[in-house]
Chains A and B, each alone.
Chain A
Amino acid sequence: MDTSRSYLEPSSFSKKLAATIIIVYTVITLIPISWMVMTSFKNVNSAISYPPEVLFEPSLEGYVNLFTNRSRQSQEYLDSLPAPETWYEELVRSREMVITGPSKFLGRYSNSMIIGFGSTFASVFLGALAAYAFSRFRVPLKDDLLFFILSTRMFPPIAVAVPIFIMYRKLGLGDTHLGMIILYTVVNLSLAVWLLKGFMDEIPKEYEEAAMIDGYSRLQAFFKVVLPQAMTGIAATAIFCMIFSWNEYAFAVLLTQFNAQTAPPFIPTIIGEGGLDWPAIGAGTTLFLLPVMIFTIILRKHLLRGITFGAVRK
């Protein structure tokens, strides 16, 4: 019998089984994503060819199409133009088209950034303050208030789409960055308060007391001592908030058209000649995936600690 391991440690068989399950799950999850990334590097024809091409000649056509508006021209006209100056112009001309200007993608993408990070910051900041108050102070009707906050998540947010639409119209918040930031912050705030309250409860109040004795006000103590220790919770909360506001589609379709339209409602509207331009859509979604991925990787260290936080008392 193998006695080299402790009873608490899983057997090598169950370790292998766990690893197999994780690998299978990872592959299943990654297939659509990798297909999407692959599509973004195909040309229009190979993207829709049947049987689907797994091996193909990579092309940046999708990315060029994503960032530009083009128009089809006759061969004579193309010949009359001076030689193309850039590689992407050359690529477009080889498809018998000329670039007529930049597409709206960059603007939509930066709208997504502003609204996504803006609402994430607002949710986490306001959530942390509220969570701290709920965790430390004797708030009248504390339990009822906490339940009330949670209850805002008991229905799908889209259920209140009509009243919000009318409200935003009257207030002039429709199709504005501020309006979308406020909306996503409101939706995320309940989650932020609840998540962060759990983390704040775990931080002994002696830390702030020590800081207050050391001459700091409660608010200063909150920023200098409590927040750094709540980093785990803040990272976890920020990721959840970011993923929600970054991916949100329904409200974005409903409330934004031009100024504040985010990438999710924009990407599916990219239409090429004779139908959807799949490589461009693939390129758009691939680029759309990146910020959340980078954000999550940066905060992953904190997140991993967050899951096991409080499991063992120091």
Chain B
Amino acid sequence: MSKIKIVNLQKSFGDFTAVKNSNLTINDKEFFVLLGPSGCGKTTTLRMIAGLELPTSGEIYLGEEEVGMLRASERDIAFVFQLFALYPHMNVKNNLSFPLKMQGYSRNEIKTRVEEAAKLLRIDHILNSNISSLSGGDRQRVALGRALVRRPKAFLMDEPLGTLDAEFRELMCLELKKLHIDIGATTVYVTHDQLEAMSLADRIAVMDGGEILQADEPSVIYNKPATKFVASFIGSPGMNFINIDQGISNEQSTLNIEGTNFSIPKQYEISKGKKNSFGIRPENLSLTNEGGLKGSVFGVEYLGSRKIITVKTNFGEIKVKTDISTSVKINENVQVKPSNDNIIIFDGETDKSLKSEFMN
């Protein structure tokens, strides 16, 4: 296993730049997730690490070796495809031994390794089955097995759970995580599903428009998003934004919105312009009778353990995650107020979060 480092990586298809000047370091034995909406360049990045696409510029290091221009077959990595890409004309056993045959292992060695991987993934009872007769989950396991048998330097996975149904996806998520803990392989995992990313990742890189916006641990990504996009993309529902037509000065610790003063974490950065936004997660808001933003209840979603209340204000719809005991009626007048100081100010010009006591 080895660490993966990408330096100033760029990929263009004609006029379109799919990946812009990206830098990342993925540590040894880390479960690293590339997260972003479709078309953000996450799959292209992964395919460049795999050697299925050649970078336009930049370097990729696998361990100490620069592999950017090497062929996929020369890189010693394993790739799990979204559609599994199991060879349909071979049975499970042959699919698993296919990568080993190329490397010239003896028959016995191949047999032991295939059986070992099959046991680990609990597919030893279907080794002689045809691929077409397998369920989605078993196909997934075989695809993982084919990656495992080679003991490669790194695992690359391109939305491997994307085609499974929701219930099964959760199960496979757990299995994947357990597998990762068991074998401790450096893994790069691409997904657009933030829940999957949050539950699997040691660290997440959020991408949009070909750029890596933030790469950090899930809790940091969630609580201290680097940009407005990250804040809105992560979390369900995403962060609330209130547009404020005022600049932010250094050491500022209150903000006047609609005549009400709100205390905010002490700011350490001056905003570039006067159009900024005030971001807060739904669970850090509460309903109150006074001293908040005025609005009316627009919708109530019951989620079992929590309720999400959508309040229509002059600043757009604001979602509040409340206790299950909160009872409000549609169109009832309420006020919304931060319940703690997990508040982030985003600069309107750069979309980046401003440094503050909270965002240090």
Binding site for B on A (CB under 8 A): 204, 206-207, 209-217, 220, 224-225, 228-229
| Pair B50/A213 contact, Cβ less than 8 Å | yes
Q: How far is the CB of B85 from chain A (nearest CB, A)?
A: 4
Contacts of B98 in A (CB 8 A): 211, 214, 224
Q: Is the CB of B87 closer than 8 A to any CB of chain A?
A: yes
| Pair A212/B89 contact, Cβ less than 8 Å | no
Name which residue of chain A comes closest to B77, CB basis.
Answer: A213
| Pair B102/A216 contact, Cβ less than 8 Å | yes
Known: A206-B85, A210-B85, A214-B146. 7 other contacts (CB 8 A): A204-B85, A209-B85, A210-B87, A212-B71, A212-B72, A213-B73, A214-B99
Counting chain B CB atoms within 10 Å of each CB, which of A210, A212, A229 scores highest? A210
- Taken together as a complex, chains A and B put the C-alpha atoms of A261 and B171 apart, in Å, by 68
| Pair A213/B79 contact, Cβ less than 8 Å | yes
Contacts of B150 in A (CB 8 A): 214-215
- Taken together as a complex, chains A and B put the C-alpha atoms of A215 and B77 apart, in Å, by 9
| Pair A207/B85 contact, Cβ less than 8 Å | yes
- Taken together as a complex, chains A and B put the C-alpha atoms of A250 and B13 apart, in Å, by 50
Contacts of A207 in B (CB 8 A): 85, 87
Q: Is the CB of B328 closer than 8 A to any CB of chain A?
A: no
Given A209-B72, A228-B89, A214-B83 contact (CB < 8 Å): no
Contacts of B85 in A (CB 8 A): 204, 206-207, 209-210
Given A215-B73, A225-B87, A209-B81 contact (CB < 8 Å): yes
Q: Is the CB of B259 closer than 8 A to any CB of chain A?
A: no
Contacts of A206 in B (CB 8 A): 81, 83, 85
How many contacting A-B pairs (Cβ < 8 A)? 56
Contacts of A215 in B (CB 8 A): 73, 99, 102-103, 150
Task: Give the top 3 A-B pairs by smallest Cβ distance, nearest first.
Answer: A214-B99, A206-B85, A215-B102
| Pair A213/B83 contact, Cβ less than 8 Å | no
Q: How far is the CB of B211 from chain A (nearest CB, A)?
A: 25
Which bucket holds chain B's interface residue count?
Answer: 20 to 34
Q: Is the CB of B304 closer than 8 A to any CB of chain A?
A: no
Q: How far is the CB of A141 from chain B (nearest CB, A)?
A: 17
Among B98-141, those with CB < 8 Å from A are: 98-99, 102-103
Given A225-B87, A228-B89, A213-B102 contact (CB < 8 Å): no
Contacts of B78 in A (CB 8 A): 213
Q: How far is the CB of A205 from chain B (nearest CB, A)?
A: 9
- Taken together as a complex, chains A and B put the C-alpha atoms of A225 and B101 apart, in Å, by 14
Q: How far is the CB of B31 from chain A (nearest CB, A)?
A: 20
- Taken together as a complex, chains A and B put the C-alpha atoms of A238 and B78 apart, in Å, by 36
- Taken together as a complex, chains A and B put the C-alpha atoms of A225 and B81 apart, in Å, by 16
A selection of 20 A-B contacts at a CB cut-off of 8 Å is: A206-B83, A207-B85, A209-B72, A210-B87, A210-B146, A211-B87, A212-B52, A212-B71, A212-B73, A213-B51, A213-B52, A213-B79, A214-B99, A214-B146, A216-B73, A217-B71, A220-B102, A224-B98, A228-B89, A229-B89
Contacts of A225 in B (CB 8 A): 87
Contacts of A209 in B (CB 8 A): 52, 72, 79, 81, 85
Among B60-83, those with CB < 8 Å from A are: 71-73, 75, 77-79, 81, 83
- Taken together as a complex, chains A and B put the C-alpha atoms of A217 and B88 apart, in Å, by 19
- Taken together as a complex, chains A and B put the C-alpha atoms of A198 and B219 apart, in Å, by 49
Contacts of B102 in A (CB 8 A): 214-216, 220
Among B24-56, those with CB < 8 Å from A are: 50-52
Contacts of B88 in A (CB 8 A): 229
Name which residue of chain A comes closest to B152, CB basis.
Answer: A213
Contacts of B146 in A (CB 8 A): 210, 214
Contacts of A216 in B (CB 8 A): 73, 102
Contacts of A210 in B (CB 8 A): 79, 81, 85-87, 146
Q: How far is the CB of A199 from chain B (nearest CB, A)?
A: 14
- Taken together as a complex, chains A and B put the C-alpha atoms of A216 and B71 apart, in Å, by 10
- Taken together as a complex, chains A and B put the C-alpha atoms of A213 and B154 apart, in Å, by 12
Counting chain A CB atoms within 10 Å of each CB, which of B50, B102, B103 scores highest? B102
Name which residue of chain A comes closest to B79, CB basis.
Answer: A213
